[in-house]
Amino acid sequence: MPRRSPRRLLGVLATATVAFTLFSPATPAGAAGTATPAAGVAARPLSTATPVVFVHGYTGNASNWTTAMSVFRLNGWSASNLFAYEYDSYGDNVTNARGLAAFVDNVKARTGASKVAIVNHSMGGLVSQYYLKVLGGNTSVSHLASIAGANHGTTSAGACLSYTTCQQMYPGSSFIAQISSGDETPGTTRYATWYSACDGIILPYTSTRLDGATNNNVPCQTHIGYLTDTAVLGQIARFVAS
């Protein structure tokens, strides 16, 4: 079959966004398999002092995180500790990861924090994984939450292979091999993922899972729908606070 053009892919994503807005259920889908503390064992105290850096997906931007930031504020975060990193979706994810490294260093300098938490979506998973694993960023990251991350690639990237980022996002690429070989969850960082069979963009949908992470199977949520799913975003806020 002929490859779809990048413009057609953007149209598909835009259509998915509109469809979710019009037809989303009143109660967002929740992640399955969340651990419950054993009887008689006190839960860890939650901390909302850690700055959070949000990393968008392919063709995304900072506005993707409007709902997420609202959820984090409702869970105790100060707006001054919530940051959105933007990068070039059509460039190179190695460059994007280096930009993330500089952004994290800047956040640490501004807030005085020794570590940040990272919450990513879609291709932001690749940017984050390269930063943590290849560039050694795990020493600066307390928690990594990957929402529908393209962590092992997605065949949907076949529609935009004229761009380096999409070549890197395609399963079997040398970029994917580099971030998935050996330990996928290095350092003392706590890792968690959220993935769903209803994703529709991350193909196969299990690509998001990381060995060594807490992998949460969401019963049914679309790729774009996660960005406004307050139930899942609330779980992520509590994970980052743990």
Annotated active-site residue in 142, 146, 199, 207? 199
For residue 87, what pLDDT band results from cuts at 50, 70 and 90?
very high
Q: Can you tell me the mean pLDDT for 14-26? A: 33
Annotated active-site residue in 56, 89, 122, 229? 122
For residue 47, what pLDDT band results from cuts at 50, 70 and 90?
confident
Which pLDDT score is estimated for 46? Answer: 60
Q: Model's pTM, two decimal places? A: 0.82
pLDDT digits 0-9 by tens, 188-210: 999 999 999 999 999 999 999 99
Percent of the chain with pLDDT over 90: 81
Annotated active-site residue in 56, 121, 152, 223? 223
Residue 199 designated active-site = yes
Q: Is the pLDDT of residue 69 over 50?
A: yes
Percent of the chain with pLDDT over 70: 81
Q: Parallel, antiparallel, or unpaired: how do β-strands 116-121 and 141-147 relate?
A: parallel
The sheet with strand 190-195 has its strands ordered as: 82-85, 52-55, 116-121, 141-147, 190-195, 214-217
Assigned token pair, 75:
């869970």
3-state secondary structure the chain: CCCCCHHHHHHHHHHHHHHHHHHCCCCCCCCCCCCCCCCCCCCCCCCCCCCEEEECCCCCCHHHHHHHHHHHHHCCCCHHHEEEECCCCCCCHHHHHHHHHHHHHHHHHHHCCCCEEEEEECCHHHHHHHHHHHCCHHHHEEEEEEECCCCCCCHHHHHHCCCHHHHHHCCCCHHHHHHHCCCCCCCCCEEEEEECCCCCCCCCHHHHCCCCCEEEECCCCCCCHHHHCHHHHHHHHHHHHC
Report the chain's mean pLDDT, rounded to a whole number. Answer: 86
Q: Parallel, antiparallel, or unpaired: how do β-strands 190-195 and 116-121 relate?
A: unpaired
pLDDT digits 0-9 by tens, 215-227: 999 999 999 999 9
Q: Can you tell me the mean pLDDT for 54-72? A: 98
Which pLDDT score is estimated for 125? Answer: 98
Residue 121 designated active-site = no
pLDDT digits 0-9 by tens, 136-195: 999 999 999 999 999 999 999 999 999 999 999 999 999 999 999 999 999 999 999 999
Which pLDDT score is estimated for 31? Answer: 35
Identify whether 204 is preceded by a cis peptide bond (ω within 30 of 0).
yes
129 neighbors 179 (Cβ within 8 angstroms): yes
Residue 89 designated active-site = no
